[in-house]
């Protein structure tokens, strides 16, 4: 199972949009996806029509609850969700004095049935606190969605630094698998310049796919459907299908690297 944390500490970056719609697009490619909503705002859960996950995830982090008991099915083929709720906002305080708190999620993920899912996507909160560090410690890879705005560029550098610290101290195998330009408005020079700057600074780490600004993509959350089901013919659906194609193509590279190791 590829465990991918979708991370950006800046709100409006397209983090939850990417987690939800990438999961759906991977599901269309016959991949089974477990989405963990690790953001106390619970937007990813609501997107799939799950209004409240109770204390479940908080109990996983602070008690003996098991992730497998929290898994819920969705109407989207190939996608299962471990929902969040506002209770998770208390995790920072609850884990403050806990030894090894940053590794709890990794230990709980290891208890899931082997080979049940091909992917686990973790929708992280828009902060770099204990929840995000847990996700980075548990993950194999990181996807960084970046709004096509010059102010968002500094945040990418900050995430790079955080990933380096986690690599050094907690998870040496963690890698940034891709940077994803989001909310790209092809009509403006500014968006194009930001994408060009990302490609110049981070080279092959930036996905070839960009997520274009699309009103249908903005609407689909209100209807509790991913874009692939809400408007399958929209630009938003095409873009996330293209992204899923790139992510799936990385599977071959990961297998080659595993063989070399």
- Encode pLDDT of 179-217 as tens digits: 999 999 878 889 989 899 999 999 989 999 999 998 999
Which residues does 147 contact at the CB level (< 8 Å), separation at least 6?
10, 12, 13, 14, 182, 183
Diameter of the chain by CA atoms? Answer: 52
**pLDDT surpassing 90 at residue 230:** yes
**pLDDT surpassing 90 at residue 104:** yes
**pLDDT surpassing 60 at residue 255:** no
Count of CA atoms in the C-beta half-sphere (13 A) of 65: 16
- Encode pLDDT of 117-174 as tens digits: 999 999 999 888 899 999 999 999 999 999 988 888 888 888 999 999 999 999 999 9
Question: Is the pLDDT higher at 65 or at 22?
Answer: 22
For the chain, the structural domain boundaries read 2-260
The continuous run of DSSP H or E covering 68 comes out as none
* pLDDT band, very low/low/confident/very high, at 52 (cuts 50, 70, 90): confident
pLDDT of res. 236: 95
pTM of the model: 0.93
Mean pLDDT of 1-6: 97
CA distance 59 to 94: 10
Q: Which of 11-15, 66-70, 71-75, 99-103 has the lowest mean pLDDT?
A: 11-15
User: How far is residue 196 from each of residues 12, 63, 84, 210, 250, measured CA to CA in Å?
Assistant: 20, 46, 36, 11, 22
Q: Is residue 114 exposed (0-12), middle (13-18) or buried (19+ Cβ within 10 Å)?
A: exposed
pLDDT of res. 260: 33
Query: Could you tell me which of 112, 48, 61 has the C-alpha nearest to residue 87?
Result: 61
Mean pLDDT of 225-244: 97
CA distance 138 to 59: 17
pLDDT of res. 151: 80
Average pLDDT score, the chain = 90
Class of domain 2-260: alpha beta
CB 177 within 8 A of CB 142: yes
């Amino acid at each position: 199972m590829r465990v991918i944390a979708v991370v950006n500490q800046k709100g409006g970056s397209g983090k939850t949009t990417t987690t939800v719609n990438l999961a759906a697009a991977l599901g269309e490619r016959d991949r089974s996806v477990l989405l963990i909503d690790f953001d106390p705002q619970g937007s990813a859960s609501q997107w799939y029509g799950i209004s409240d996950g109770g204390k479940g995830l908080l109990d996983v982090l602070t008690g003996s609850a098991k992730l497998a008991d929290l898994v819920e099915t969705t109407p989207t083929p190939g996608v299962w969700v471990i929902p969040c709720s506002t209770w998770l906002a208390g995790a920072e305080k609850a884990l403050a004095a806990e030894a090894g708190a940053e590794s709890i999620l990794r230990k709980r993920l290891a208890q899931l049935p082997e080979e049940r899912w091909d992917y686990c996507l973790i929708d992280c909160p828009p902060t770099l606190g204990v929840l995000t560090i847990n996700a980075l410690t548990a993950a194999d890879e990181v996807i960084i969605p970046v709004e096509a705005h010059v102010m968002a560029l500094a945040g990418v550098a900050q995430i790079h630094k955080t990933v380096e610290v986690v690599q050094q101290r907690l998870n040496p195998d963690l890698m940034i698998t891709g940077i994803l330009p989001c909310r790209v408005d092809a009509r403006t020079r500014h968006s194009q310049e930001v994408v060009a700057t990302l490609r110049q600074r981070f080279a092959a780490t930036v996905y070839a796919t960009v997520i274009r600004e699309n009103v249908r993509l903005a609407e689909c959350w209100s209807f509790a459907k991913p874009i692939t089901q809400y408007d399958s013919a929209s630009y938003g659906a095409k873009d996330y299908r293209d992204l899923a194609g790139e992510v799936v193509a990385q599977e071959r590279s990961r297998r080659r690297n595993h063989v070399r190791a």
